[in-house]
Amino acid sequence: MVNRCHIFLFTFVLCFTGNISAQQLNSYELEIEQWKLKRISSLKDKNGWLNLAGLYWLEQGNNSFGTGAKNKIVFPKGSLPEFAGNMILVNGVVTLVNAKGVNTKVNNKILKQRIIFSTDSVNTPTVSYGAYYWTIIKREDKIGIRLRNYNSEVVKNFNGTPRYATDSLWRFNAILKEPVAPTTISITNVLGQTIQMKLLGKLIFSLNGAVISLDAVEEENQLFIIFGDATNGKQTYGAGRFLYADKPDAYGRIIVDFNKAYNPPCAFTPFATCPLPPKQNIIKFAITAGEKKFVSTYKY
């Protein structure tokens, strides 16, 4: 027996789903082009994903660092002296102690010793040496170093990501069915860690004659969707893609635009800790819109 609720939702979505008119098409294509340029700019930004040069998890106690092979933390060749000092992790607090004669900076100031991370801190300082910058990050029970190279060859040679041709047929009106319970969902990342994220509801729209439902979580006051589809591992990144959408308008409608589907950071670098699509967000159809697989020739 067909679920009456699904029939109602399907009819509702169909009533509000329509193609973009010919008059709107040029402005829509311009919108997507501007979105693509903004996307490229964000990836190449100093805080983007392309300049990552390392991710190192700290052990409790002393963590010697530098480019020498005897260090616990071995930075890329040419980035630092052979022995640059120690990063000491004790009870969630990381203290940087520079080696003698090594002018590593903390927030652009040369300091012999400084706490650079605490689980109670609001702001985490930036440590730098030459073109290399790093901060301390925490992922559940792991505390580590995220290293960036501001002279990255990846950034210099990046001209964008392959994409499907813009097609307004991949732009849908959807409705948001708010959750009754639970109000969070489990999201697992590439490290195998599972966290709870706030569930805003299920985005519901029609695709290929079927009703599609995608769990949406909250991020930066928007709906954030982590999804997979039949193109993953073939034309697109194997571990799914991301998509943002604005919250409902005055009529309760939401635009779901797969032309703005994009690769997670892990598609560009091995030094990210991306969330994976929950099983309920795996679409059995091929979503031939948005960013395709990125193939880098750079060898880390």
The rounded distance, in Å, linking the Cα atoms of 278 and 214 is 9
Query: Measured at the alpha carbon of residue 132, what is the angle toward residues 126 and 137, in degrees to the nearest 5?
Result: 45
**pLDDT number for residue 3:** 45
Q: What is the 3-state secondary structure (H, E, C) of 185-227?
A: EEEEECCCCEEEEEEEEEEEEEECCEEEEEEEEEECCEEEEEE
What is the reported pLDDT for 26?
83
* Tens digits of pLDDT across the chain (300 residues): 334 444 344 444 444 444 555 556 688 999 999 999 999 999 999 999 999 999 999 999 999 999 999 999 999 999 999 999 999 999 999 999 999 999 999 999 998 899 999 988 778 899 999 999 999 999 999 999 999 999 999 999 998 999 999 999 999 999 999 887 879 999 999 999 999 999 999 999 998 888 999 999 999 889 999 999 999 999 999 999 999 999 998 888 899 999 999 999 999 999 999 999 999 999 999 999 999 999 877 776
In a 3-state reduction of DSSP, which class is residue 242?
strand
| 93, 116 contact by CB (below 8 A) | no
For the stretch 110-130, pLDDT in tens is 988 999 999 887 788 999 999
What is the reported pLDDT for 23?
56
Domain boundaries, the chain: 4-46+159-281, 52-151
10-21 pLDDT tens trace = 444 444 444 555
When the candidates are 3.30.565.60, 2.60.40.10, 2.60.200.20, 3.40.50.300, the CATH number that belongs to 52-151 is: 2.60.200.20
C-alpha dihedral, 152 to 139 to 261 to 179, nearest 10°? -170
In the three-class reduction of DSSP (H, G, I as helix; E, B as strand; rest coil), residue 278 is classed as coil
pLDDT at 182: 78
